[in-house]
């Protein structure tokens, strides 16, 4: 199964590798792309527009072209849908309806399009999600603000948006033709993406720690000196005095809200932060001098206790077998500074 043609008039087709069997599955659509085959191999999701004037939507259809149904229009530009092991559907879309922006976030919804949940946060571009064999979601984040990065970041999350981490896979290719099943398209068309339309194993459905009635989560760093960034890894112990956490102000033109917490002598820090809020981390030295900033962004979900070994550490690094000093006391609450008071209390 493949998405084909120029992006504006792309279509989804079913084809045999030798090209002898070819069937356009979306000829009744103005454009259709990014197909994902169901685990039983009988249905597929795709993003499509029935006419050039219509809003894009996520659709589902049988491989035999039967049972067409609209899943969701999302926030006006949904794309890249995938099936999740628990039956939900994940897709990328604008963070808010009616806002023209390059930013995209990941969302999930029930099979009928209801119960929409936002999974990633920040004014970045989260795209190209795919399901891994262990049940996690791999996706690309293109950093747009405050300064665009030339290459996207490979990140992974659980299907509920928790457990954000970097994906370390030096041998991975990003959507190259070598990754696609061999397909011979009709003359004049070219392949944009392909997937085998056969039954496949269902990855495990990962459990969720989210408690929707809670409004906060925690961030624990075991050792801020553990980093792949030479300027951080080379710092002497004691050089990092505090950590500053910032988030965009909800009021236009007001810049950022910020709050600080101490970094312990072993490099650890433990903070409570508002849930579902884009956060940036800055390491501070003597006199509040910024030693390093991590602009790609992080977040925690409600009731999530998010931990990391270091700050942009080597993904293959195992933590030391010791108790970090920061967890010897309750997490430092940053709620007042990051929410303007915001009516938050610890946990709820």
How far apart, in Å, are the Cα atoms of 214 and each of 47, 80, 157, 275? Answer: 34, 30, 20, 8
Tens-place pLDDT, residues 303-326: 999 998 877 666 666 777 789 999
- Among 162, 157, 128, residue whose Cα is nearest residue 142: 128
- Is there a contact between 11 and 3 (Cβ–Cβ < 8 Å)? yes
Counting Cβ atoms within 10 Å, is residue 267 exposed (0-12), middle (13-18) or buried (19+)?
Answer: buried
Share of the chain above pLDDT 90, in %: 67
Domains of the chain: 2-194 (2.120.10.30), 216-339 (2.60.40)
Q: Which are the contacts of 276, defined by CB distance < 8 A and separation ≥ 6?
A: 118, 121, 299, 301, 302
Assess whether pLDDT exceeds 80 at residue 176. Answer: no
Confidence of residue 230 (pLDDT cuts 50, 70, 90): confident
For residues 239-250, average pLDDT:
93
CA atoms of 164 and 134, how far apart (whole Å): 15
Tens-place pLDDT, residues 33-68: 999 999 999 999 999 999 988 889 999 999 999 999
Confidence of residue 183 (pLDDT cuts 50, 70, 90): confident
Tens-place pLDDT, residues 146-170: 889 899 999 999 999 999 998 866 5
């Amino acid at each position: 199964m493949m998405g084909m043609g120029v992006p504006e008039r792309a279509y989804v087709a079913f084809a045999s590798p030798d090209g002898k069997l070819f069937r356009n599955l979306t000829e009744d659509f103005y454009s259709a792309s990014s197909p994902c085959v169901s685990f039983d191999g009988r249905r597929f999701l795709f993003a499509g527009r029935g006419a050039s004037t219509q809003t894009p939507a996520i659709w589902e259809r049988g491989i035999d072209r039967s049972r067409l149904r609209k899943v969701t229009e999302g926030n006006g530009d949904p794309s890249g849908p995938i099936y999740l092991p628990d039956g939900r559907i994940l897709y990328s879309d604008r963070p808010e309806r009616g806002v023209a922006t390059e930013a995209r976030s990941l969302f999930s919804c029930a099979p009928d399009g209801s119960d929409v949940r936002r999974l990633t946060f920040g004014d970045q571009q989260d795209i190209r999600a795919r399901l891994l064999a262990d049940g996690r979601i791999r996706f690309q984040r293109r950093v747009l603000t405050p300064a665009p990065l030339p290459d996207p970041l490979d990140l992974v999350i659980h299907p509920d948006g928790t457990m954000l981490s970097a994906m370390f896979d030096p041998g991975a290719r990003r959507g190259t033709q070598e990754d696609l099943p061999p397909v011979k398209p009709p003359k004049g068309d070219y392949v944009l993406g392909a997937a085998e339309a056969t039954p496949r194993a269902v990855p495990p459905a990962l459990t969720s720690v989210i408690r929707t009635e809670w409004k906060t989560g925690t961030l624990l760093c075991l050792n801020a000196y553990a980093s792949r960034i030479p300027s951080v890894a080379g710092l002497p112990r004691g050089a990092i005095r505090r950590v500053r956490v910032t988030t965009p102000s909800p009021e236009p033109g007001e810049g950022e809200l910020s709050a600080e917490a101490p970094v312990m002598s072993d490099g650890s820090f433990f903070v409570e932060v508002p849930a579902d809020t884009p956060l940036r981390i800055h390491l501070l030295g003597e006199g509040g001098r910024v030693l390093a900033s991590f602009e790609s962004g992080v977040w925690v979900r409600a009731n999530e206790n998010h931990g990391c070994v270091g700050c942009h550490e080597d993904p293959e690094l195992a933590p030391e077998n010791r108790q970090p000093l920061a967890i010897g006391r309750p997490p430092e609450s940053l709620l007042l500074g990051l929410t303007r008071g915001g009516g938050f209390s610890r946990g709820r």
